[in-house]
Chains A and B, each alone.
Chain A
Amino acid sequence: MSEVIVITSGKGGVGKTTTSANLGTGLAMLHKKVVLIDTDIGLRNLDVVMGLENRIVYNLVDVIEGSCRLSQALIKDKRYPNLQLLPSAQTRDKSSVSPEQMKKLIESLKEEFDYILLDCPAGIEQGFKNAIAGADRAVVVTTPEVSAIRDADRIIGLLEANDIHHIDLIVNRIRMDMVKRGDMMSIEDVIDILAVHLIGAVPDDEHIVISTNQGEPLTGSDCLSGQAYMNIARRITGEEVPMLDLNVKNGFFSRLAGVFKKK
């Protein structure tokens, strides 16, 4: 039985694409057959975060318009052959695809894959409607900021209005040092406000920037964010994993110590 999960946030720049890449990689590491679909037509980015930008021949719109077969557009990941990417089109716009066409496409992918992850564009317009059309469940990504949480709340409302009731929350880019000072909302504050199930929190970690630079998702690596993403991937499969303690390695001196420990 395959599951279709849309990764969404409302606000842009909170880490949807990074989360999609890392959760896809994490699920693939757990030996699941995974396909990542970049639904952000016109602003494709999942391919670069995955480091697969040089392998694109056909894209989502080509498949939907019937210009190529589905298997021709799917790109195998560099490291995990059970992970594939369906890239978005860069020179088209959101109106090139309809929600019905997305549903049909997803149906045809269900036979082959355990998990279908949809990287949703920012906003609540056509692109969002396309992305959620075939989804069974949603992962909402937010950061502990007023604007991101407000948009997440709106998105949660829209998901429920579209009959997607299995909603999990990721609090991204949390800085425990700022939370301790009282200058950032805590994970508990965010859950309290949004009243949805938390599936994990990811710390603000410079390793993410490095991994994006290199085009290699860091899920499973020994840094804190890598562990956090792996834990979330496990929770998505239904495994019970205790919440990661994000407080470690956060002080200046322990961070310094971490620098010396690495290589």
Chain B
Amino acid sequence: MGFFDFFAKNKSGNVAKDRLKLLLVSDRANCSPEIMEAIKNDIIKVISKYMDVDTEALDIQITQTQSEDGKEVVPALFANIPIKDIKNGNPNK
């Protein structure tokens, strides 16, 4: 990336394009905020059985990613889950 490209990246036209791309993925996936919230809560429920996670900082969103063969862009569920502490032992005990 060249010197000018660096600044070009921050231009409002690019900002708009990037925002739109993200926005449309979730629009097209037809995922309402309520469903996203439900997914988030379920993920917390499952993961907290095994580890102590920071539920406040947990962030999930639908983004785009390359498919496995790299030929097309597919939607992906992206979750950023900060771990506070990993519990030891079998949770089912």
Contact = CB atoms under 8 A, between A and B. Distances in A.
Nearest to A194: B24
B13 A193 contact: no
Contact of A193 (B8, B12, B17): B17
Interface residues of A, number: 19
Interface residues of B, number: 14
Contacts of A145: 16
Secondary structure call for the B interface: helix
A53 B16 CA distance: 39
Interface in B23-39: 23-24, 27-28
A92 interface: no
A209 B12 CA distance: 27
A7 interface: no
Contacts of B49: none
B13 A146 contact: no
A207 interface: no
A182 interface: yes
Contact of A153 (B11, B12, B17, B24): B24
Contacts of A189: 13, 17
Given A149-B20, A193-B20, A183 B12 contact: yes
A145 B24 CA distance: 13
B65 interface: no
